Chains A and B, each alone.
Chain A
Amino acid sequence: MQLSKDGHRRRWNSKKTLAMLITWTIALLWAVPVFWALVASFRPASEPMGRGDVWFGSMLTLDNYIKAWSLAPFDRYFLNTVIIVSMILGVQLITITLAGFAFAHYEFHGRKILLFIILLQLMIPTTALLVPNFSTIRFLNLYDTRLAIAIPYFGSAFGAFLMRQAFLEVPHDLVDAGTIDGASWWQLLRHIYLPPTIPVLVAFGISSVAWHWNEFLWPLIITKSDAARPLTAGLVRFTQLGEIGAQWSLLSAATLIVAAPLFIAFLVFQRRFIESFVHSGLK
């Protein structure tokens, strides 16, 4: 009896060790690209890579970061990205809260059809509409501005829908009590609907920032100068500069400059990021 129990346990343990080894191996392989980029970015540019010699050089240096920065205005790109992302988020938080509140709180004519029209944005992603939207931006005289990059995203069907669902979860009793007390729509929204739904707004905010930080195609076509260009479009321009070639340590540094701010935020707020991504996928 004792023996069989022991044997069972040992088998279970070795199974667990095997599972652990498999998981660790795949996880390790998956991390190689970013890990390599990190190592390579500190490798002296004077030591070109070759077969079997692609990791550490003779010393660690910050020169690649300094040189990348001198070849392209990354501070400008960084500022542009931050402004674009904040602009989008700021406007979205207002528009989605108001629309979500209207759809959750009021009965009105055409409510269903209006919601459907807004939800069309989920079925036809803005990316697919870059050709006509480019004409609209030209028409509005916004070409090559930060506003042009941000403005198509000011209304978010997904966000409005997410907030509607969140507001519908707010207990009816609370809302009724507020209404009886004579609260205005603004007071209802501010004191009854918003407090319990702040986490949903935060989740939406994180995924909005992550998405627009990384966006590339639309900013690429709607900008022509460094004045409006964000980090992603700046990086691709950088990789295509004549003098870059196969200077991998320099390219790695530029790549990490572009990815680092969001990446560090992710490392610090890992759980919130992942929760937000799970939320935001649930369209």
Chain B
Amino acid sequence: MERSQTRKSTLPYLLILPTLFFVAIFTIWPTINSFYMSFFRQRLNLARFREPAFVGIENFVNLFSDPRFIQVLKNTIIYVIGTVPLAIFLAFVFAFLVNQRIRGVGLSRLSFFHPSILPMVSAATIWMFFLTPDYGIFNEALHFLGYRGPQNWTANPDLALISIMIVALWKNAGYYMIFYLAGMQNLPTEVFEAATLDGASTWQKLRYITFPLLRGTTLFITTIAIIGAFQTVDQIFVLTQGGPSGASTTLLYYLWQVRFEFQDVGKASAITVVLIVLLLSFTVTNFVLSERGRE
């Protein structure tokens, strides 16, 4: 009897152990380690700095007084603000379009959603062609529409970041669409019938019924979109390598550069800390917002 009770009390811990073990080694420990290492100077490509030396908050002071890093932060913010709201808007429009009872809805859904199945590096490789000057299809289309500006998107300091954003937009809008679509299909039909009887237009129904009722979905998509935006770097590797002269370098790409090109472990740890703090502040804000919405 006693034995079975002891077994009963250790069993749940044993069942959790594998998950806890991997989370501890690849999430908890590296988080703590990044904070710790961010207070040390360690550069692997310079013999005299190879051993870690405690420097206090020097890494952070250096980072925030470095115009390069400020530019990286600015790029990241532009990337997030430029892609997230637009992707969500497109997702809502797409979901509305394919939620209608019209012909060809299945194929349209497929068309909007299929980019999310592609690896980002494949999507970016295709777009590398679309953005090619002169005969790339994107440039041809723009030319047809009357655009006469610069065409070398990935090599132009003003356009490189935008080209990174275009690919993300094309790839992600359909992914966010499926959450709106699922939400729209769960909306109570009676409300819409009543609104139709009262003579509400399609636009009014969208504006005053669908959108407010899907507030939770919008909040949720916003969160995954922002967290996702901080993590996208794949297309940068394919299209611009962060250039020209840092114009399309975002936080995660810079982190990779600092650690693996400049071999600066201390600085990379400090950037990791900045990234963690940013991500946590977004998740916590979202949690607070969604709890408030529930009340």
A27–B127 Cα gap in the complex (Å)?
17
Q: A118-B20, A155-B21 are in contact. Are A19 and B100 (CB under 8 A)?
A: yes
- For A214, what are the chain B residues with a Cβ–Cβ distance below 8 Å? 118-120
Smallest Cβ-Cβ distance to B101: which chain A residue: A16
- The yes or no answer to B98 lying at the interface (CB within 8 A) is yes
Whether A235 pairs with B121 at a CB distance below 8 angstroms is yes
Chain A residue at smallest Cβ distance from B272 = A131
Judge if B16 is at the interface, Cβ distance under 8 Å: yes
Chain A contacts with B in 115-142, Cβ cutoff 8 A: 117-118, 120-136
Query: Contact between A23 and B108 (Cβ–Cβ < 8 Å)?
Result: yes
**Chain A residue with minimal CB distance to B119?**
A214
Contact-residue size bin, chain B (C-beta under 8 Å from the other chain): 35 or more
Residue B145 lies at the interface, judged by CB distance under 8 Å to chain A: no
Interface-central residue, B33, B125, B128, by most chain A CB under 10 Å: B125
A255: CB under 8 A from chain B?
yes
Interface of chain B residues 122 through 153 with chain A (CB within 8 A): 122-123, 125-130, 132, 134-135, 137, 140
- B234 contacts chain A at the CB level, 8 A cutoff: yes
Query: With the chains together, A136 CA to B256 CA distance in Å?
Result: 16
B132/A118 in contact, CB under 8 A = no
Specify which of B20, B114, B129, B237 is in contact with A117 (CB 8 Å cutoff).
B20
B255 cross-chain contacts in A, Cβ below 8 A: 130-131
Question: Is B203 part of the binding interface, using a Cβ–Cβ cutoff of 8 Å?
Answer: no
Proximity string of chain A (94-113) to chain B, C-beta cutoff 8 Å, 1 when within and 0 when not:
11101101110110100100
Determine if A128 and B33 form an interchain contact, defined as CB atoms under 8 angstroms apart. Answer: no
Option from A19, A95, A154, A220 in Cβ contact (under 8 Å) with B97: A19
Fill in one digit per residue for B190-229: 1 if any A CB lies within 8 Å of its CB, else 0.
0000000000000000000000000000001000100100
A33 at the interface (CB under 8 A from B): yes
Q: A108-B9, A155-B20, A251-B125 are in contact. Are A120 and B104 (CB under 8 A)?
A: no
Q: Knowing A16-B102, A214-B118, A231-B119 touch, does A120 contact B19 (C-beta < 8 A)?
A: no
Given A221-B260, A281-B224, residue A99 in contact with residue B113 (CB < 8 A): no
Complex Cα distance A256/B121, Å?
11
Check A124 against B31 for contact (C-beta < 8 Å): yes
Query: Is A202 engaged at the interface, CB distance under 8 Å to the other chain?
Result: no
Given A54-B135, A251-B125; A20-B102 close (CB under 8 Å): yes
Interface presence of B115 (CB below 8 A): yes
Q: Is the CB of B108 within 8 A of A52?
A: no
Contact status A236-B111, CB under 8 Å: no
CB of A69 within 8 Å of the partner chain: no
Which of A24, A126, A217, A259 touches B26 (beta carbons < 8 Å)? A126
In the complex, the answer to whether B18 meets A270 with C-beta atoms within 8 Å is no
Contacts of B179 in A (CB 8 A): 278, 281
Contacting residues, chain A, for B279 (C-beta < 8 A) = 123-125, 128
Instruction: Tell yes or no: B78 within 8 A of A by CB.
Output: no
A130 adjacent to B256 (CB under 8 Å): yes
Question: CB within 8 A of A185: which of B11, B28, B132, B220?
Answer: B11
Q: Mark B10-33, 1 if CB is under 8 A from A, else 0.
A: 011101101111111111111101
Q: Report the nearest A residue to B26, measured CB to CB.
A: A152
A131–B105 Cα distance when bound, in Å, is: 45
Let me know if B26 and A136 touch, CB within 8 A. yes
CB-CB under 8 A for A121 and B23, given A20-B104, A31-B111, A278-B179: yes
Of B18, B23, B135, the most chain A CB neighbours within 10 A belong to B23
B257 smallest CB distance to A (angstroms):
11
Q: How far is the CA of A32 from the CA of B30 in the complex (A)?
A: 42
A160 within 8 A of B: yes
- Residues on B with C-beta less than 8 A from A124 are 27, 31, 276, 279-280
The distance in angstroms between the C-alpha atoms of A125 and B216, with both chains bound, is 22
A118 lies within 8 A of B97 (CB) = no
Q: Do residues B18 and A94 form an inter-chain contact, with CB atoms below 8 A?
A: yes
Q: Is there contact, CB below 8 Å, between A258 and B127?
A: no
Asked whether A227 is an interface residue with its Cβ less than 8 Å from the other chain, the reply is no
Distance of A160 Cα from B16 Cα, bound (Å):
9
Do A132 and B269 contact each other (CB < 8 Å), given the known contacts A19-B100, A31-B111? Answer: yes
- Tell me the smallest distance from the CB of B89 to a CB of chain A, in Å: 13
Using Cβ atoms and an 8 Å threshold, which residues of chain A touch B140? 51-52, 54
Residue from A98, A125, A259, A282 within 8 A of B16 (CB atoms):
A98
Contact (A255, B125) CB under 8 Å given A54-B135, A95-B22, A127-B252 = yes
B248 to chain A, nearest CB (A): 16
B182 at the interface (CB under 8 A from A): yes
A214 and B256 CA atoms in complex are apart in Å by 19
**Min CB distance, A175 to chain B, in Å?**
15
Q: Is the CB of A125 within 8 A of B104?
A: no
A171 at the interface (CB under 8 A from B): no
CA distance in complex: A129, B34 (Å): 8
User: In the complex the two chains form, is A281's CB within 8 Å of B220's CB?
Assistant: yes
How near does chain B come to A213, taking the closest CB pair, in angstroms?
Answer: 7
Interface flag for A80 (CB, 8 Å): no
17 A-B Cβ contacts within 8 A? A20-B104, A23-B105, A26-B112, A30-B111, A36-B126, A36-B137, A49-B135, A54-B135, A108-B13, A120-B28, A124-B276, A131-B34, A151-B22, A155-B18, A213-B119, A214-B119, A236-B237
